[in-house]
Structure 1
Amino acid sequence: MHFFINHSKLPLPYSNPPKKIISLVPSQTELLYTLGMEDYVVGITKFCVHPPEWKHSKTIVGGTKQLHIEKIKALRPDLIIANKEENVREQIETLSHIAPVWVTDINNLDDALSMIHQMGEICRKNALADQCATNIQNNFSLLKSLQPSKKAAYIIWKQPLMVAAAQTFIHEMLTLCGFLNVFENKKRYPSITEQEFITTEPEFILLSSEPFPFQEKHIHYFQQMLPNSTIILVDGEMFSWYGSRLLHSVAYFKILIENIQKNN
């Protein structure tokens, strides 16, 4: 069994770079593309939408939480990339009998940058990975957060009502933008009642485009619940993808912050 959690002190598993990679994590699939690993990635999930052309050229091995084990086994990978939050532990333990599984655990920007450096080491793409991480770090160093800070709730699911709370990558992004997460006293992704939600009195309600695809038609539901809150549809990839998508996040956040300050 080969099963190891992302940590800077853990030894990397290869003396040679992997030649057949399966990625079960959408944001890290995109990072592999950014690092020029197209010829080495053989399998991805149906949620790995970047780059779009890989959905036609790579084998789809199921969803992040419903994997086709036999399909993965048939690909004979020498590395499987998974994530503690996005994949199911029991399935990952099964896969660890097929090939080494690298399980990342990303809760903040430092974790993401460390993962990018490690991906570069594993794939022997150190220079590209280091440049990617440096660019991301530089972008975030220039981000000017909301002044003053604004109370916000970040909604990820409708029924049941679920939010991004503390100890999540989304919470880190909210904080860096200058939002005060009204559910920072809870952990991970709790379900909440409507009454709990109303009691928090957020100034802003951010409806994420994923995993639940919130759209304009859902705004009325929340506006009735909290008529004094400002409701914004946001791009979930910018708040929750921790690979090379972060190269675009700060530009997105700057526009979001500017629009809020302009209208308040």
Structure 2
Amino acid sequence: MPILKDQIGNTFEFAQSPKRIISLVPSQTELLYDLGLEERIVGITKFCVHPYHLKSTKKIVGGTKKVHFEKIRLLQPDIIIANKEENTLEIVEELRKICPVWVTNIITIEDVFQMITDFGQLFNCRTEAQKWNDKIQYSYNDFKHFMKEKPTQKVAYFIWKNPHMVAGSNNFINEMLKLNNFINIYDNTEKFPGRYPEIIIQKMKIQGDPEIVFLSSEPYPFKEEDAFEIGRFTHHAKTVFVDGEMFSWYGSRLSKAFEYFKKMHERL
């Protein structure tokens, strides 16, 4: 196999395509399955819920932020697939003592295309990878056409409660918001440092006064009472519950996300 490079610049040289894969990222587990690699997946996280049957056929090795190193070691993986944002540096460094760890780094749609191409080379499934890239590219082009005449709207996208956290700058959710002609009021690294800043909901009006407040289904599943609580401080803003997977899962899920976004705009 040729020398390959992951998305944080680490180089890898495999004598043959890795046969035993552990995936520590739910959206990447789904992608590996969609690339036809189900038989090679030996371990996943408890959050890897698509496709659902994998939870009963594959070994659960922990979560994304906390893994069972011994369970992973016993599975004798050839490669572990991680992500710069989802998995901590400490976890990745510890896992490197077991086997090579391939780290993705996804912020833009282009990063998604690159990851799929990389997996095609890494797991010798280039044709399948190209099919998925073509499918996503087609949906992406179609969606850009759909969005041409849509006005911009100011939004806030909540991901967590206690403390309240939102999507800020430099993350995939923010890129998805931009594609939808939404102006994220927290996309400002000087005022709101970090990818997912903690905010005080009482200050939302002066922080940007959003027209729409999105409450995500994950990682925190927001409820009606949360909408009521946040709504008290946004006055005229419309509160909308959204499927967090469509905004934050990169990979093959994107082909479904663009259709979801179209329906969302029709509701708005």
Pairing 1:101-180 to 2, within 5 Å after superposition: 101-143=101-143, 144-145=146-147, 147-180=150-183
Identity of aligned residues (%): 47
Counterpart for residue 6 of structure 2: 6
Q: Amino acid of the residue matched to residue 258 of structure 1?
A: E
Query: For residues 32 and 238 of structure 1, what CA distance do their matches in structure 2 show?
Result: 18
Pairing 1:16-55 to 2, within 5 Å after superposition: 16-55=16-55
Q: Amino acid of the residue matched to residue 151 of structure 2?
A: P
Q: With the length of structure 1 as denominator, give the TM-score of the two structures.
A: 0.93
Cα deviation 1:151-183 (Å, max 9, x = unaligned): 000000011110101100000000001101111
> Is 1:246 paired with 2:254?
yes
Aligned residue pairs total 257
Query: Of 229, 236, 243, which aligns to 1:228?
Result: 236
Kept in 2, the 8 Å contact 1:5–1:103? The answer is no
Distance 1:11 1:88, change over 3 A: closer
Query: For residues 142 and 48 of structure 1, what CA distance do their matches in structure 2 show?
Result: 29
Query: For residues 223 and 7 of structure 1, what CA distance do their matches in structure 2 show?
Result: 39
SS of structure 1 residue aligned to 2:111: helix
Q: Which runs of 4+ in 1 moved over 4 A?
A: 8-12
Query: For residues 11 and 69 of structure 1, what CA distance do their matches in structure 2 show?
Result: 23
Q: With the length of structure 2 as denominator, give the TM-score of the two structures.
A: 0.92
Query: For residues 211 and 175 of structure 1, what CA distance do their matches in structure 2 show?
Result: 21
Q: Amino acid of the residue matched to residue 26 of structure 2?
A: P
Kept in 1, the 8 Å contact 2:203–2:233? The answer is no
Distance 1:84 1:5, change over 3 A: farther
Kept in 1, the 8 Å contact 2:5–2:11? The answer is no
Kept in 2, the 8 Å contact 1:152–1:203? The answer is yes
Query: Of 199, 205, 210, which aligns to 1:198?
Result: 205
Q: Amino acid of the residue matched to residue 209 of structure 1?
A: S
Distance 1:5 1:67, change over 3 A: farther
Counterpart for residue 56 of structure 1: 56
User: How many angstroms does 1:127 deviate by?
Assistant: 0.6
